[in-house]
Chains A and B, each alone.
Chain A
Amino acid sequence: MPNINDQIQSIVDSNDVVLFMKGTPDFPQCGFSHQASQILRYIEVDFKGVNCLETDELRQGIKSFSNWPTIPQIYLKGEFIGGADILRELFQSGELFTTLTEKGIPFKAPAGAQA
């Protein structure tokens, strides 16, 4: 069984968009995780939700993997983007759409959003 770091690395390498969260997109168990998955769903981005509450090893492992102390965490094409706050800020500023476009990740820009 590969160590937790390698497991996380393979998840982010094999999925364009990954949301490490508490709970699942359908049953989020934390307000910030819910907010992050809502944003991704609103702009119709396909993403893999990973429930970090399943094992403590994953819950702690993700924090050291990214050197980021909280969950949720968002990865685009293997690159760590940030947590719920940064995703919300990028969404509100429109920078998220630029980043998604640059990385070739399909999404549906809301009406009136500047890309």
Chain B
Amino acid sequence: MPMPAAEIESLIKQGIPDAKIEIRALADDGDHYAATVISQEFAGKSKLQQHQLVYKALGSHMGGALHALQLQTFAPK
């Protein structure tokens, strides 16, 4: 069951409240997205830890309904 971009955004926001999120569909099948997430919570964390924060917010959806998420994460400069 594909996942709408808005739902991905709200899940990430719930997990990372200050996140600025930009999502675009990579394909029109509803389960391939690219997302850029910017949050103060990423400051001082490795890329791996930053991505894990986002995946934790997405919970079981990631790898399930959401097949592929091309992720870029940044701490605000």
Query: Is the pair B63, A69 in contact by a Cβ cutoff of 8 Å?
Result: yes
0/1 interface trace, chain B 45-77, chain A, CB 8 Å (1 if under): 001100110010010001100001111100000
Query: Is the pair B63, A85 in contact by a Cβ cutoff of 8 Å?
Result: no
Q: Contact residue range for chain B?
A: 10 to 19
User: B63 — which chain A residues lie within 8 A by C-beta?
Assistant: 63, 69-70
Find the residue from B47, B52, B69 having the highest chain A CB count within 10 A: B47
Looking at the assembled complex, report how far the CB atom of A81 sits from the nearest CB atom of chain B, in whole angstroms.
7
User: B47 — which chain A residues lie within 8 A by C-beta?
Assistant: 82, 86, 89-90
Task: Tell me the B residues contacting A by CB distance below 8 Å.
Answer: 47-48, 51-52, 55, 58, 62-63, 68-72
Q: Contact residue range for chain A?
A: 10 to 19
CA distance in complex: A44, B14 (Å): 42
Task: Tell me the A residues contacting B by CB distance below 8 Å.
Answer: 31-32, 63, 67-70, 80-86, 89-90
Known interface pairs A63-B63, A70-B62; A85-B48 also in contact (CB < 8 Å): no
Query: Is the pair B62, A81 in contact by a Cβ cutoff of 8 Å?
Result: no
Look across to chain B and name the residue whose beta carbon is closest to the beta carbon of A63: B63
User: A63 — which chain B residues lie within 8 A by C-beta?
Assistant: 63
Looking at the assembled complex, report how far the CB atom of B65 sits from the nearest CB atom of chain A, in whole angstroms.
12
User: A31 — which chain B residues lie within 8 A by C-beta?
Assistant: 68
A-B contact pairs, 16 of them (CB 8 A): A31-B68, A32-B68, A63-B63, A67-B52, A69-B63, A70-B55, A70-B63, A70-B69, A80-B48, A82-B51, A84-B70, A85-B51, A86-B47, A86-B48, A89-B72, A90-B47
